[in-house]
Amino acid sequence: MKKQNEEKFEGYTRITEILSPYMDFSHIETRVHRYCDLYVKNLLIEPVDEDCKPYIDSFIDWFDFIVDEVIQSEQRLFCDRWKITGQIDLILKLKNTDATFLVDIKTQQQKSSSWALQTAAYKYLVEDSSTQKITHRGCLMLDSNGQVPTMIEYKYHKRDIDFFSLAYKLHKYFKEQ
């Protein structure tokens, strides 16, 4: 595994594409992700679009309260063995802990069972492409009214990566037909 430039992922399949039959990605808000990334890098100087503002307010309140250090933000990783790629939203150190948390930001207001598989695949990408160890992983559901977001933590990595592997194999099978 190795990091590569975005333009080099031809021939690689996105993790979200592999999981697309099992989840709805139509609500993913790329502008919200961009604003969150700018905030964690202390570069958010532009006004936030009105429709994104509640989500960003939700994120900022959570981030300022719980995050000690940003290890990685919006990083695309690649797996040469599986020919998959994924963009990691955040890897963080939390306040008052030694926890290293992989966080996937969500604007959806309802939990999806496929998120566990998605974050397991991201954890796999991170740990195989670096010496970084992820101790926790989860999805941060930003609140559409600007209130406290909901963090959903996934603890069964072996089960989740096994199910992702099955989804990957099914994806390859149907793609090759």
Rounded to whole angstroms, the Cα distance separating 15 from 120 reads 10
pLDDT of residue 4: 45
Pairing between strand 100-106 and 150-154? unpaired
pLDDT of residue 26: 64
Confidence of residue 58 (pLDDT cuts 50, 70, 90): very high
Mean pLDDT value across the chain = 90
Percent of residues, the chain, with pLDDT higher than 90: 76
pLDDT 10s digits, 1-56:
444 444 566 789 999 999 988 887 666 678 999 999 999 999 999 899 999 999 99
Q: Taking residues 129-140, report their average pLDDT.
A: 93
Percent of residues, the chain, with pLDDT higher than 70: 93
Residue 155 has pLDDT above 90, yes or no: yes
Residue 147 has pLDDT above 80, yes or no: yes
Strands (E) across 43-144 are located at 67-79, 84-94, 100-106, 136-141
Pairing between strand 84-94 and 13-14? parallel
pLDDT of residue 137: 97
Specify the pTM: 0.90
CB-based contact 60:36 (threshold 8 Å) = no
pLDDT 10s digits, 105-133:
999 888 989 999 999 999 999 998 888 89
Q: CB 30: neighbour CB atoms within 10 A? A: 8
- 2: DSSP letter: B
Q: Taking residues 149-163, report their average pLDDT.
A: 97
Confidence of residue 177 (pLDDT cuts 50, 70, 90): confident
Mapping DSSP to helix (H, G, I), strand (E, B) and coil, where does residue 157 land?
helix
